[in-house]
Structure 1
Amino acid sequence: MYTEFFQLRQAPFSISPDPRYLFMSDRHREALAHLLYGIDSGGGVVVLTGDIGTGKTTICRCFLEQVPPNCNVAYIFNPKLSVSELLQSVCDEFHITLADDARGVHGNKHYIDALNSFLLAAHAEGRNNVLIIDEAQNLSAEVLEQLRLLTNLETNERKLLQIILIGQPELRIMLARPDLEQLAQRVIAHYHLTALTEEETASYIQHRLATAGLNTTSPFQPALIRQIHRLTGGVPRRINLLCDRAMLGAYANNIQMIDRNIIEMAGEELLINEGRTQAVKPKPAWRGAMAGVLAGAVIAGGIGYAVSSPGLRQSLAMMPATTSGAADREHDRAPTASPENRESTDTAIAEKAAPAPSPVGEAALATSTEPRADSAGAGTDTAPADSHTLFSEQDGSSTAGLRDENAAVIQLARFWGVTLEGDDPCQAAKKVGVRCHWSTGGFGEIRALDRPVAIKLQDQRKQVFHLLLTELSDTEATIRAGDVKQRVKLALLGRYFRGDFVTLWRTPPGFTGAVKLGDSGTHVDWLATQVSTLNGVEAPVAGTTYGPRMVKQVDLFQQAHGLHVDGVLGPVTVMHINRAVGVDEPRLRDTTK
């Protein structure tokens, strides 16, 4: 409805799950780490709790994306089951075959015996087994006791079943009950997911707008963030509801820049700030207009607005993003920052880096010195012959993959129009104004950085190899090595990709490392000029040292682009500056556009 008005490709604040809009805060990453820890912990129970709308589903999606290939997963999202129904559901999820007369006839023992046999067989094959139960606060005490008994299925070495419970804060209260003390003692890790901070709220909003295609100034100015955070409490789902209604209100009143009054009225409309004492205010004119817009939309069969029930779950789809901690790594790494001196390199947080990928046009590819992804010898998207298999969909193996990261960087450099040689191509790259950037941010950060990368993969036999990733859509990627390329589903590729990749970026003139307070030089002059121009303010005179005024401009740029706001001009921030000012660097191609 308002997408064309704000020049967007789609509505940015839908509450429906969409993998392209994944945003991970530091707490989301820590929660994910707790779940991943549980896989190899040798059994027991892992608990993840959080208020409604804080992102527990997001964590579960990311976790499923990163589950290793040797792990069997059973996922139950409707826990309002009896003990017998639960056991049957677990067997169904693990695809355990039961005798025809076992289901519902001979009792729970048949399910448990069949499950135990399956777990023992999987253990003998070196496979782990994970049972995930979502909305676990709805489990009855009887079912929770049965789950405790399932943790008794074990060998002399380890537990056979890892149980993950995901639920609302009531789950913590349940586990604290005296009659469930034995189950509580089996909890090996527990993380409570809290809401976003004010700073993260700003990055979250910008991330969703950029993913929806925003290429102009955000309609939500920085001065509004505190108000939005106050009304929503930093809960992502509430932020979506508030911002969606505010954009609708602005559209109905033909206002491009949202103001405080629109935010306040949108909050009242959705009862987000219910319970807060307020004076009765006259209804603004846009409410009547918006009512007409909504009525027209309903009559025309257009977009409707509804708040979904917190218990409503949709089937989990594999995410095109992995989410591990993603700190910059360089050969001449600058010291880690402290809040006082702000002298760190950028922290590359994948889902905080917002801009959606922009495809490289055919004309640009034709005039570039970079190799074309559809060059001769790689004109088919089908899997290559067995003798030159780029990526096997059966076990993730590769006979044509690059066994050495240096070889991958050398091939990757061709997209930047440079030739690298020697045993350390990343060191050689510095001599031609290009640097390597390593990360563990996975598909999310790759999409945000919007450039070809070399990804690290590990097949089922634990063999490590590297491939270039040159195209990325919502569900597929193009991988290549040399002149061989292949299209592969992200969900399949994600089974063998743990998020590690390396890419390249062009450095500003005179760049020697992350710009810190007190630095000066040609690289500081160039970066300060670009950031000031992008922010629409006067650039400092040449030779000015990097001080508080410049830091503020960098903070504004980082906030506007959904980056981690730390005022440090490190690799990730410079990459986004390069893209914003049109520095000649290759882009990912998005075949959905």
Structure 2
Amino acid sequence: MYQAFYGLSEGPFSIAPNPKYLFQSARHRDALTHLTYGLGETGGFVLLTGEVGTGKTTVSRTLLQQLPENTDTAFILNPSLTELELLATLCDELGIKYPQQPSLKQLTDCISEFLSSNHQAGRNTVLIIDEAQHLRAEVLEQLRLLTNLETDTKKLLQVILIGQPELQQLLRRKELRQLAQRITARYHLMPLTEKEVASYVGHRLQVGGRAQPLFDAGAIKALHKASSGVPRLINLIAERSLLAGFANQLAVIDKKTVAAAAVEVLGVEEPAETSSQSWVPWAISGVLLVLLITSFLWRHGDLFLPEEHQQNRFPKKQVVSPQPQLPAATQPPQQTSLTTPSEPDLTAIIEQAEDIDLSFAALFDLWQQPLYKGLTPCQSAKRNGLSCYQQQGNFRTIARIDYPAVVYMQQQNQRFYAALIAVDGEQLLLQLAEQRIWVSQAWFDQRFSGTFEILWVKPAMPLQAIGPGSQGKQVQWLEDSLARVAGTTPKLRQQFDQELANQVETFQQDNGLIVDGIAGRETLIHLNLRVSNTGPRLGTL
């Protein structure tokens, strides 16, 4: 209907997952890097989570396109299955023949035989499960048992679990701790920033046949606010906006049109335009708000540390100035002093901190490594001999690891990013965009979403679980590392025994990990981080 009017060859905002409209933000590319890395680790499980409509399916389909040609893939879209139904569905997807009315053992034997034959033929087997938050605990345990099939160097079946944030909670259950230890890579996908929304809309319009911009700056801002950066909602609201624009013969879609479209799509109406007399209660509310803020800052002046304290503890420091138009691999440093903005100024700073690359630029600066133009942060890390590690937790989780981190933040409906670069008691030094500020831990806790990423140097030794049956150098390294963390004298130890299992449990409990007495992947990562002497720390900048 509106396509000819706007010079489009087709509707660009369909919610159908058309591959030619694929738009990869920096975070989508990072998610893809994490998942590809996890599969390359020859581990059993890879995890991708995100809110509804954030593009998890887009990432998974892109991953499928990038898998080697010698890969057989099974894709399960409806995980609300029993153990028997899941194995039968896996057989159907891979073309494995099985008896009529099979038992669990018969299906397992058929799958095992197929995986062994596939491996001998030089082929890989990958299972992708979408909406995995609906999987039952016993079904996940059955999947774990399937991944027990392995050679000395790789798993015969690799599983990618894709789901909503509830999947993370499911995997924290005690009966699934063995599976959780086998996750070799995980990534939580966040919505698009306002800048990415503009690129996303422009990309889809261009693929749809229009090269010129169609949504003005106000419309993009309104679109980001109404959709919270969720691509599926962006499509729905943008589609309705184009219909309204055509009906009103608008050459350019403006903020008012997008706001009206959002009301139709979401059913949430923005406050109506005020009449000449309706400004009075708003003015009174504004005065009261100013008085409340003034009173709060007067009584709680320690929310931000004095500027003098900041300058004494941290001198002026060069920070990366992200200017993508420069051809150099690294962005030039720029002198930025530490400041303590007032609350209104802080809101303005947060609006400039919606680009995660700015926070990663601060992190790379601390590591004294370049952030390469055209590469995602994790790709730049790999080129510099580093690795990205994403985890969910709270401030105490980050403090225990003691590494500077990119933290995912949220204030009301606005998502933003910061680099946590130092801690001094109850005060935290954040870098928001190009501004360094001290905030209280309470301020941080109220806005921290629970997701953070660090850079680290991955150890040379493989991150293979150390537990009952393990012996030799791995066991001695575990003993030495645990003793170093605990400040005790290590013993000579050749086999993994109950005493060492108790030490592992103590370390896991102290670091907020699943307590099972087995040094799995997550435990080994945390242990390596604790004993490593490489890289900056939160308290030693």
Deviation at 1:25, TM superposition (A): 0.6
How many residues get paired? 288
Question: SS at 2:202's partner residue?
Answer: helix
Question: Quick one: which amino acid aligns to residue 119 of structure 2?
Answer: H
Which of 235, 239, 253 is equivalent to 1:240? Answer: 235
- The whole-number CA distance in structure 2 between the counterparts of 1:138 and 1:340 is 48
Which of 143, 159, 175 is equivalent to 2:155? Answer: 159
- The whole-number CA distance in structure 2 between the counterparts of 1:152 and 1:281 is 65
Trace 1:207-286 onto structure 2 (pairs within 5 A).
207-215=203-211, 217-271=212-266, 274=268, 278-279=271-272
- The whole-number CA distance in structure 1 between the counterparts of 2:120 and 2:241 is 57
Deviation at 1:40, TM superposition (A): 2.6
Q: So what's the TM-score if we normalise by structure 2?
A: 0.50
CA displacement 1:294-346 (0-9 Å, x = unmatched): xxxxxxxxxxxxxxxxxxxxxxxxxxxxxxxxxxxxxxx942242767xxxxx
- Cα pair 2:149 2:157 within 8 Å, conserved: yes
Describe the shift of the 1:256–1:7 C-alpha distance in structure 2 as closer, same or farther (beyond 3 A).
same
- Note if 1:142 corresponds to 2:143: no
CA displacement 1:471-521 (0-9 Å, x = unmatched): xxxxxxxxxxxxxxxxxxxxxxxxxxxxxxxxxxxxxxxxxxxxxxxxxxx
- Cα pair 1:130 1:161 within 8 Å, conserved: yes
Equivalent residue, structure 2, for 1:94: 94
Equivalent residue, structure 2, for 1:186: 182
Equivalent residue, structure 2, for 1:19: 19
Question: Quick one: which amino acid aligns to residue 173 of structure 1?
Answer: Q
- Cα pair 2:56 2:162 within 8 Å, conserved: yes
- Cα pair 2:46 2:159 within 8 Å, conserved: yes
Structure 1 runs not aligned, ≥5 long: 283-332, 342-437, 442-593
Question: SS at 2:237's partner residue?
Answer: helix
Equivalent residue, structure 2, for 1:58: 58
Question: Quick one: which amino acid aligns to residue 241 of structure 1?
Answer: L
- The whole-number CA distance in structure 2 between the counterparts of 1:270 and 1:86 is 36
- The whole-number CA distance in structure 1 between the counterparts of 2:332 and 2:250 is 38
- The whole-number CA distance in structure 1 between the counterparts of 2:236 and 2:270 is 21
Question: Quick one: which amino acid aligns to residue 270 of structure 1?
Answer: V
- The whole-number CA distance in structure 2 between the counterparts of 1:197 and 1:334 is 24
- Cα pair 2:42 2:158 within 8 Å, conserved: yes
Question: Quick one: which amino acid aligns to residue 103 of structure 1?
Answer: Q
Deviation at 1:120, TM superposition (A): 1.2
Deviation at 1:30, TM superposition (A): 1.1
- Cα pair 2:259 2:270 within 8 Å, conserved: no
- Note if 1:112 corresponds to 2:95: no
Deviation at 1:226, TM superposition (A): 1.9
Q: Please say which of residues 73-82 and 219-228 is displaced more in the overlay.
A: 219-228
- Cα pair 2:39 2:46 within 8 Å, conserved: no
- Cα pair 1:91 1:115 within 8 Å, conserved: yes
Trace 1:290-305 onto structure 2 (pairs within 5 A).
none
CA displacement 1:207-231 (0-9 Å, x = unmatched): 011111114x422012332221111
Question: Quick one: which amino acid aligns to residue 113 of structure 1?
Answer: D
- The whole-number CA distance in structure 1 between the counterparts of 2:208 and 2:219 is 20
Describe the shift of the 1:256–1:277 C-alpha distance in structure 2 as closer, same or farther (beyond 3 A).
closer
Question: Quick one: which amino acid aligns to residue 250 of structure 2?
Answer: I
Question: Quick one: which amino acid aligns to residue 200 of structure 1?
Answer: E
Question: Quick one: which amino acid aligns to residue 221 of structure 1?
Answer: D
Equivalent residue, structure 2, for 1:287: none
Question: Quick one: which amino acid aligns to residue 75 of structure 2?
Answer: Y
- The whole-number CA distance in structure 2 between the counterparts of 1:68 and 1:16 is 26
Deviation at 1:44, TM superposition (A): 1.3
- Cα pair 1:43 1:160 within 8 Å, conserved: no
Describe the shift of the 1:252–1:334 C-alpha distance in structure 2 as closer, same or farther (beyond 3 A).
closer
Q: Please say which of residues 120-129 and 246-255 is displaced more in the overlay.
A: 120-129
- Cα pair 1:246 1:266 within 8 Å, conserved: yes
CA displacement 1:132-170 (0-9 Å, x = unmatched): 111111111121111111121223333211111011111
- Note if 1:335 corresponds to 2:328: yes
Trace 1:111-130 onto structure 2 (pairs within 5 A).
111-130=107-126
Question: Quick one: which amino acid aligns to residue 328 of structure 2?
Answer: P
- Cα pair 1:132 1:166 within 8 Å, conserved: yes
Deviation at 1:277, TM superposition (A): 6.9
Equivalent residue, structure 1, for 2:78: 78
Q: So what's the TM-score if we normalise by structure 1?
A: 0.46
CA displacement 1:265-312 (0-9 Å, x = unmatched): 11111116x4x8734899xxxxxxxxxxxxxxxxxxxxxxxxxxxxxx
- The whole-number CA distance in structure 1 between the counterparts of 2:94 and 2:73 is 7
- Cα pair 2:127 2:160 within 8 Å, conserved: yes
Question: SS at 2:186's partner residue?
Answer: strand
Question: SS at 1:270's partner residue?
Answer: helix
- Cα pair 2:7 2:209 within 8 Å, conserved: yes
Question: Quick one: which amino acid aligns to residue 125 of structure 2?
Answer: N
**Structure with the larger helix share:** 2
Equivalent residue, structure 2, for 1:103: 100
Question: SS at 1:89's partner residue?
Answer: helix
Deviation at 1:58, TM superposition (A): 0.8
Question: Quick one: which amino acid aligns to residue 127 of structure 2?
Answer: L
Deviation at 1:9, TM superposition (A): 0.6
Question: Quick one: which amino acid aligns to residue 38 of structure 2?
Answer: G
Question: Quick one: which amino acid aligns to residue 219 of structure 1?
Answer: L
- The whole-number CA distance in structure 1 between the counterparts of 2:214 and 2:270 is 28
- Cα pair 1:87 1:111 within 8 Å, conserved: yes
Describe the shift of the 1:3–1:281 C-alpha distance in structure 2 as closer, same or farther (beyond 3 A).
farther
- The whole-number CA distance in structure 2 between the counterparts of 1:440 and 1:280 is 45
- The whole-number CA distance in structure 2 between the counterparts of 1:65 and 1:21 is 15
Deviation at 1:50, TM superposition (A): 0.9
Structure 2 runs not aligned, ≥5 long: 276-325, 335-372, 377-541
Question: SS at 1:73's partner residue?
Answer: strand
Trace 1:318-467 onto structure 2 (pairs within 5 A).
334-338=327-331
- Cα pair 1:39 1:128 within 8 Å, conserved: no
Question: SS at 1:190's partner residue?
Answer: strand
Equivalent residue, structure 2, for 1:202: 198
Deviation at 1:78, TM superposition (A): 1.3
- Cα pair 1:88 1:103 within 8 Å, conserved: no
Question: SS at 1:242's partner residue?
Answer: helix
- The whole-number CA distance in structure 1 between the counterparts of 2:236 and 2:332 is 33
Deviation at 1:246, TM superposition (A): 0.9
Which of 166, 169, 172 is equivalent to 1:170? Answer: 166
Deviation at 1:79, TM superposition (A): 0.9
Deviation at 1:103, TM superposition (A): 3.1
Q: Give the root-mean-square deviation of aligned CA atoms.
A: 2.4
Describe the shift of the 1:228–1:46 C-alpha distance in structure 2 as closer, same or farther (beyond 3 A).
same
Which of the pair has the greater relative contact order for Cα pairs under 8 Å at 6+ separation?
A: 1
Question: SS at 1:72's partner residue?
Answer: strand
Equivalent residue, structure 1, for 2:32: 32
Describe the shift of the 1:281–1:83 C-alpha distance in structure 2 as closer, same or farther (beyond 3 A).
farther
CA displacement 1:333-375 (0-9 Å, x = unmatched): 942242767xxxxxxxxxxxxxxxxxxxxxxxxxxxxxxxxxx
